[in-house]
Homo-oligomer: A and B are copies of this chain.
Amino acid sequence: MSGNEELAQSEERLRIRKNLIEAIAETMDLYGATHSSGQLYGIMFFENRPMTLDEMKRQMNMSKSNMSYAVRSLVESQMVKKLDEKLERKELYAAETDFFIVFQKFFSHKLQREIDVMMKAIDDAQPNLTELILQEHTADEERKLALQDLHKLRHAQKYYEWLQQFVDSLRNGEFFTNKAE
């Protein structure tokens, strides 16, 4: 076979990959990731070995500092792991390729953050709202409005308690029980 044909095949495989990488980036866009992070995850997903910043830079055709930022965000959302060993001084990063685990890590992380932010806000607000309602000199209309807000908070609190359980279940792998592995 000619060198040209070999090249064509390799290009065909890379073309197929490129479409898939774009789809991955597009879905990650949905959850607030930058397009570049999404592409980078896609590249790392198909790469069959850990990558260095230099390789990312080369494949993404971007600056090393940007790769540093992008890979950090992937590590933070736990879709990529920084390995303990290095290769010729260079740090190594490997994508988690099991989407079940990605789902588990990504969503438990995001949802936990949401729970923490909202629970704190609710915990801060409730005593103040309660005091406003209880004060002798609070106008009736005002009390009524404050009470409505308080009830909304109590419902929200119930929800976040449930969501915490949901996240715990997710972390425990309870949703994956029927999965053939």
Residues of A within 8 A of B (CB): 1, 5-6, 9-10, 12-13, 16-17, 19-20, 22-24, 26-27, 29-32, 45-46, 48, 97-100, 103, 110, 113-114, 117-118, 120-122, 124-125, 128-129, 132, 135, 137-139, 142, 145-146, 148-149, 152-153, 155-156, 158-160, 162-163, 165-166, 175-176, 178-180
A23 and B159 contacting across the interface, CB-CB below 8 Å: no
Q: In the complex, are the beta carbons of B32 and A118 less than 8 A apart?
A: no
Residue on B with the closest CB to A181? B158
Closest Cβ of chain B to A43, distance in Å, is 13
Per assembly, the copies of the chain total 2
Selected contact of A179 from candidates B125, B142, B162, CB within 8 Å: B162
Q: How far is the CA of A105 from the CA of B162 in the complex (A)?
A: 16
Q: Is the CB of B132 within 8 A of A9?
A: yes
17 A-B pairs in the complex with CB atoms less than 8 angstroms apart: A1-B139, A9-B135, A9-B139, A12-B128, A13-B132, A13-B145, A16-B149, A24-B118, A27-B113, A27-B114, A45-B152, A97-B152, A97-B155, A99-B160, A162-B176, A162-B178, A162-B179
Q: How far is the CA of A12 from the CA of B179 in the complex (A)?
A: 51
CA distance A13 to B129 in the complex (A): 7
The interface residues of chain B lying within 8 Å CB-to-CB of A19 are 121, 124-125
Q: Which of A32, A99, A146, A148 has the most CB of B within 10 A?
A: A99
A99 to B98, CA, bound (A): 30
